[in-house]
Amino acid sequence: MLGWAIAFLVIALVAALLGFGGIAGASAGIAKILFVIFLILFVVAMVARAVRGKPPL
């Protein structure tokens, strides 16, 4: 998930450098959404791991 977010961020940066504002904005929006989903899943996984008795990373 984090890899996809980084990929869309790179696409957004390249599109912005080349002057494609619409594509850059859409790619940046997708990257933000994927990053938030990644953070939520990461926190849920850490809480689940702690509940099972294993220490967090």
pLDDT of 11 strictly over 70 = yes
The model's pLDDT over 23-51, given as tens digits with 9 standing for 90+, comes to: 888 988 999 999 999 999 999 998 998 89
* Amino acid code (one letter) for 52: R
CB 2 within 8 A of CB 42: no
Mean pLDDT for 6-16 is 89
What's the Cα-to-Cα distance from 29 to each of 46, 51, 52, rounded to whole Å? 26, 33, 35
Q: Report d(CA 21, CA 34) in Å as an integer.
A: 20
